[in-house]
Amino acid sequence: MSKQPWIFDSLQDINDYRSSESKHQLQILFGTESPVAWVTGSAADRVGRAVARRFAMRGYRIVIHANRSLSEGKQLVEAWNAVGVETMMVHGPIEDETRVKEWIEQIYEGFGRLDVLVHAAAVWEPQPLESTTAKLVQEQFTSNTLGTFLCAQHAGLAMSKQATGGSIVLVGDWAVARPYRDFAAYFASKGSIPTLTRAFAVELGERSPNVRVNSVLPGPVKLVEGVSEATQEAILKQCLLRREGTADHVARAALFLAEHEFLTGVCLPVDGGRSIYAGSIADAIAHGSYIET
């Protein structure tokens, strides 16, 4: 009688099972143990790179994308190839449709397939409403809305022609549901992500039932330089889980969504609970029996 897969005699048994189970899952999902994941915005050391690293650790071949961080991207490709992670790079602005189409061709020329797109590239610029110009709004929409649309459109249509389909994960923002001041242009552009997630899930799912589209809506993770200690402390206090989010939290959620064969059209907040709660003072109960403690 063969041993059941959940019965182990040693730690080596567990490690061997984990390894074989991972390969088996990828084989079932994508028809290969080495699928290809394209992560936009992954050259710079922010969320996109953490996503690419997590997928590389899982056994994926990686397509790095750079726009302004071209030198960083080249270094990353060289370093990852040196340790055995098959990696290539595409570069340029995501809102350039000609370039996006060329990238798809380059990916198929280099790897022969495209199994996952994680679209993490984005721009943001805080600006008081009084000084927010039409030009700034257009710039935010061009990158965050149009760029997302084009990458998902052309990657998804390519995936729909593959027998094994593929998976798209878009990266949005939790705060489109609870916006704060000075980011009106950014939130307007990022507010499209949940709609695009559902629209592409339908469009591509109707073309191939093996293409899935989901999104991650992160809370504040990997805060930019210059954020004061007081602001960081306030962010932690407003988080229901009382801890700081990391880029890898987003990466793990993206990997989960990419590999879950029965999820599509899902927008998953990864925000420590901030989208539902911001503290007892901010969300005070409007009820006569409420007593502050």
**pLDDT tens figures, 278-292:** 766 555 444 455 445
pLDDT number for residue 293: 45
pLDDT number for residue 15: 67
pLDDT number for residue 6: 46
pLDDT number for residue 178: 85
E strands in the chain: 36-40, 61-66, 87-91, 116-119, 166-171, 211-218, 267-270
- Rounded to whole angstroms, how far apart are CA atoms 144 and 129? 19
Contact 213, 200 (CB under 8 A): yes
- Rounded to whole angstroms, how far apart are CA atoms 192 and 196? 6
DSSP character at residue 141: I
Active-site choice (17, 60, 180, 186):
186
Residue ranges in the chain whose pLDDT is less than 50: 1-6, 284-287, 290-291, 293
Does 60 participate in catalysis according to the annotation? no
pLDDT number for residue 224: 59
Hey, CA dihedral for 175, 177, 180, 185, is it positive or negative? positive
User: Regarding the domain with residue range 21-270, which homologous superfamily does it belong to in the CATH classification?
Assistant: NAD(P)-binding Rossmann-like Domain (3.40.50.720)
The domain spans of the chain are 21-270
Contact 274, 239 (CB under 8 A): yes
Tokens coding 61: 């071949």
Tokens coding 204: 């591509």
pLDDT number for residue 22: 84
The per-residue pLDDT for range 86-127, each reduced to its tens digit, is 999 999 999 999 999 999 999 999 999 999 999 999 998 889
Q: What are phi and psi of 175, to 5 degrees?
A: -75, 0
pLDDT number for residue 120: 97
pLDDT number for residue 88: 98
Tokens coding 197: 């997630």
Close Cβ partners of 29 (under 8 Å, ≥ 6 residues apart): 35, 115, 164, 167, 259, 261
Helices (H) and strands (E) in the chain, counts: 10, 7
Tokens coding 68: 């302004």
Tell me the pairing of strands 267-270 and 61-66: unpaired
Q: What are phi and psi of 207, to 5 degrees?
A: -85, -35
Residue 271, classed as helix, strand or coil, is: coil
pLDDT number for residue 242: 79
Among 5, 1, 7, CA closest to 22:
5
- Other residues' Cβ atoms within 10 Å of the Cβ of residue 142: 16
For helices 47-58 and 247-259, give the axis angle rounded to 10 degrees.
Answer: 50
pLDDT number for residue 1: 41
- Rounded to whole angstroms, how far apart are CA atoms 276 and 239? 10
